[in-house]
Amino acid sequence: MASTAGTAPVAVTDIKETKDASGRRRGRVGYLLLLPAVIWLGLFFVVPFYSLVATSLFDPSGSDSRGYEMTYHVANYWNAIQDYKGPLLRSLLYAGIATGICLVLGYVLAYAIAFKAGRWKNLMLVLVIAPFFTSFLVRTLSWKLILADDGFVVDALQTLHLLGDDGRLLATPVAVVAGLTYNFLPFMVLPLFASIDKIDHRLIEASGDLYANPIVGFFRVTWPLSLPGVVSGTLLTFIPSAGDYINAQLLGSPNQRMVGSVIQSLFTDANNYPAAAALSMILMLLVLVMVLLFVRRAGTEELL
């Protein structure tokens, strides 16, 4: 009995050391599993981001003969704001309007799919994502045909006297916003559906007992519970819309030029890399600030 009592602490110590060793091995395995993702982010995010920041600080007077030099020319940012504030603000405005329209349309559609579709739920979800099977460019060109001056939409609006005889939709802000709304609507619907579908329908029925008005019950119960989907869908819609240039290029005119078109032109046509990089950084910072303010306002900081 004495010898057994004397060897017990040694056995406990061995067990602890074995557990610690196995825990360290599991920790190393976890880090090894994360290594591919870290390498991927380093190669395709950190390195390009560093290159973009460095390019935005190049000497803007560089030429093809001697190239651009790093002079930490911070004035590139101020010059970009002064020269391109119109397309920059226009992009944020168009993206905001398109996101608002997508939120209204997407919420109604997601609610209907989640609670009213029944056995047709999966089919309706497939129909929502069906446009993704077609090229983004082809979908936008289709809108160009739909909104053409001799198209049926313009003819119908002119017949109803909602549009003048010489009125048009193409090459107007309406066409650009319509294209943005159509192309990015699925990015709003899917997160909203995922959030609304999780809501217990008994809570909605209980809200009918607690609040006589269905509208009040919606804003007291359904809307707060679906807020994570609202925030996610808004971010997924607003961020790519702000940087888009295809819709403005095909459906708009120079008067509807968005900042994405300006950046693309500066990089590929004008070869003004410092101005293009500075404008890209400004757009990223503006979007980041707006996203942080929106998430903080919505009270869903845990989503970031």
DSSP conformation letters of 198-235: TS-HHHHHHHHHH-SSHHHHIIIIIHHHTHHHHHHHHH
- Say if 17 falls within a structural domain: no
Nearest to 97 by CA among 173, 15, 198: 173
Nearest to 114 by CA among 183, 190, 202: 190
Nearest-angstrom CA–CA distance, 79 and 89: 15
- Say if 32 falls within a structural domain: no
Q: Is 16 left (phi over 0), alpha (psi -120 to 50) or beta?
A: alpha
Name the stretches of the chain with pLDDT < 50: 1-3, 6-7, 65, 302, 304
Task: Give residue 304's pLDDT.
Answer: 46
- Say if 44 falls within a structural domain: no
Cα dihedral: 91, 92, 94, 97 (round 10) = 170
Nearest-angstrom CA–CA distance, 54 and 49: 9
- Say if 41 falls within a structural domain: no
pTM: 0.82
- Say if 70 falls within a structural domain: no
Q: At 282, which CATH number?
A: 1.10.3720.10
Beta bridge partners of 67: 63
- Say if 258 falls within a structural domain: yes
Q: Is 253 left (phi over 0), alpha (psi -120 to 50) or beta?
A: beta
For residue 100, what are the domain limits?
84-303
Task: Give residue 281's pLDDT.
Answer: 93
Q: Is residue 238 exposed (0-12), middle (13-18) or buried (19+ Cβ within 10 Å)?
A: buried
Q: DSSP alpha helices (H): ranges in the chain? A: 2-41, 47-56, 75-115, 121-129, 136-146, 152-159, 173-196, 201-210, 214-217, 223-225, 227-243, 246-251, 259-268, 273-298
180, 241 in Cβ contact below 8 A? yes
Which DSSP state fits 147? Answer: T
Q: Name the domain count of the chain.
A: 1
Q: What is the distance of C-alpha 47 from the center of its chain? A: 22
Angle formed at CA 262 by CA 258 and CA 264, multiple of 5 degrees = 115
Q: What does each C-alpha distance from 290 to 286, 287, 294, 302 come to in angstroms?
A: 6, 5, 6, 16
- Say if 39 falls within a structural domain: no
With b meaning 16 or more CB within 10 Å and e meaning fewer, what string describes 251-280?
bbeeebbbbbbbbeebbeeeebbbbbbbbb
Task: Give residue 13's pLDDT.
Answer: 62
Task: Decide: helix, strand or coil at residue 190.
Answer: helix
Nearest-angstrom CA–CA distance, 132 and 6: 71
- Say if 24 falls within a structural domain: no
91, 260 in Cβ contact below 8 A? yes
Q: Which two tokens stand for residue 26?
A: 């599991």
